Amino acid sequence: MTDQYGDGTRCVHAGLPEPVPGQPFLPGPVFAATYHVDPVTGPARDGYGRPDNATRRLLETAIGELEGGDCRAFASGQAAITAVLMSVLRPGDTVLLPSDGYYAVRSFAAATLERLGVRVSYVPTAGPYPPFEGVRLVLLETPANPGLDVCDLAALTEAAHAAGALVAVDNTAATPLGQRPLDLGADVSVASGTKALTGHSDMLLGYAATRSPDLLEQITTWRTQTGGIPSPFDAWLAHRSLATLDLRLARQSANAAAVAVALAARSDVDRVRWPGLPDDPSYVVATRQMRRIPGIVSVDLGTADRVARFLTASSLVYAATSFGGLHTSADRRAQWGDDTPPGFLRVSCGVEDPDDLVRDIERALDQSPR
C-alpha cells in the first residue's frame, strides 16, 4: 500500500495479502508457534515460532507500511525500546534520554544501562539540547508522555547525525498517522502498540521500524535471542485493529480539542496542556511537524484527593493507566512514581460523542471543588 492513498485507505489495506476467494480479508490467526520441520529439507520459513511467524509477519508488514520502514514487532513497547537500546549501545557509549519521557525507560537506564557501563544523560523534550558530540544514541519522545511537550525532530536529527549520533524516536503518542519520524530523519521509530495504535485496551504490543538494514538485523537478532515476541493471537488482534486507526484517531483528537478548550476556560484547574491549543508552548512545532494531534490532554487538578473525587463523580471517564483506548480514561501519574505533581492527570480521550464527554467532565469537576 503506497503513500498515494489517504490514511483511511492505507489503514484498511495495510499488510493484507492478495485476496483469495472463500478466505477472509485478514487470514485467521496462527494460534500456535509451530516447530515441525520437513524430514528431508529441514526448517521451513514458518518453522520455529520465535524467529518468524506468518501472522506476526503480516502485522509487521502493515505497521511498516504506515511507518515507512521495515518493522519488527515485540511483546510490549518496553521490550521494543529495550531492544533498540541494547542493540545499539555498548560499554563506554553515551545515550541521551528524555528526562520527561516514559518513566520505565529511565528506570531501565538507571538499573541496567549504567550498570553495563553505558553513560546516561538526560534532557527535557522541550530542550535546550546539549551538543551531540560523543553521543552514540539520542532517544526522543514527542509528544512526551505524560507532559505533552514536543521537539523539532528534523532539526534535532540533523544535528545529531552531524555529530555522528543515531536517533530513535518514541512515536507512541503520535502514532504513524500523526507523524512519521523516519521521514523526518530518524534512524528508528519505536512505539508501544498497546495504546492508540491498536486502541482497544485488550493487549500488549511494541514495535521498532527502520530503513537501515544494519539496524534491522541487529534488532531482529536481539529479539530472536531474547524472545520478546508477541503471541500470534495478539499479532492478529493488532492487525485487525489497524483498520479503524484513522477513524479512532480522528474522533479522539476532536474530543481532546473539545476537552482541552473546556478545561482551559475553567479557573479551578491548572496547567492544561494539549499541543493543538494555540497558546500551548508546543503548538508551533506540533502543528508544523505533526499531521494530527493525539487525543491526550494533561491537566493539574491540584490534589490527589480532588482527582479521586473527580473520577468518582464522572460517568464517562474511567480511572485507568495506559491511553489511546475507545473509552475515555484518566491516570494520576504520581501514583506510579512518575515525577509529576500529586494532582496531575493524563486524560486519554476516547470515541464518545464530544458533547457528552465535555458535559460529563464539567459536571464531575463541579461536584469535586478544590
Mean pLDDT, to the nearest integer, of 95-123?
97
Q: Looking at the structure, tell me whether residues 272 and 127 fall in a common domain.
A: no
Report d(CA 289, CA 285) in Å as an integer.
Answer: 6
1 falls within a domain: no
Mean pLDDT, to the nearest integer, of 259-265?
98
188 falls within a domain: yes
Report d(CA 192, CA 205) in Å as an integer.
Answer: 6
87 falls within a domain: yes
pTM comes to 0.94
Asked whether the predicted pLDDT for residue 205 surpasses 90, the reply is: yes
Please state, in angstroms and as integers, the Cα–Cα distance from residue 91 to each residue in 4, 87, 330, following that order.
44, 12, 39
> Is residue 109 very low, low, confident or very high in pLDDT (cuts 50, 70, 90)?
very high
Report d(CA 62, CA 57) in Å as an integer.
Answer: 9
Which is nearest to 48 in space by CA: 34, 60, 58?
A: 34
Structural domain range at position 285: 246-366
Asked whether the predicted pLDDT for residue 334 surpasses 70, the reply is: yes
Q: Residue 49's domain is classified under what CATH number?
A: 3.40.640.10
Cα 160-165-169 angle, rounded to 5 deg: 70
DSSP-assigned states of every residue in 74-112: ESSHHHHHHHHHHHH--TT-EEEEETTS-HHHHHHIIII
Q: Residue 348's domain is classified under what CATH number?
A: 3.90.1150.10
3-state secondary structure of 186: coil
Please state, in angstroms and as integers, the Cα–Cα distance from residue 163 to each residue in 121, 135, 167, 184, 211, following that order.
16, 8, 11, 17, 20
pLDDT number for residue 2: 66
pLDDT tens track for 274-287 = 999 999 999 999 99
Chosen domain end from 221, 242, 263: 242
Mean pLDDT computed over every residue of the chain: 94
Residue 278's contacts (CB-CB under 8 Å, 6 or more residues apart) are none
pLDDT number for residue 47: 65
> Is residue 89 very low, low, confident or very high in pLDDT (cuts 50, 70, 90)?
very high
Of 4-18, 28-42, 252-266, 273-287, least confident by mean pLDDT is 28-42
Chosen domain end from 210, 242, 274: 242
pLDDT number for residue 173: 98
pLDDT number for residue 267: 97
Q: Looking at the structure, tell me whether residues 229 and 251 fall in a common domain.
A: no
Cell match 515507512: residue?
68
Chosen domain end from 218, 242, 266: 242
What one-letter code names the amino acid at 183?
A: D
Report d(CA 71, CA 63) in Å as an integer.
Answer: 7
pLDDT number for residue 33: 63
Report d(CA 258, CA 130) in Å as an integer.
Answer: 37
Asked whether the predicted pLDDT for residue 37 surpasses 90, the reply is: no
pLDDT number for residue 45: 67
Q: State how many domains the chain has.
A: 2
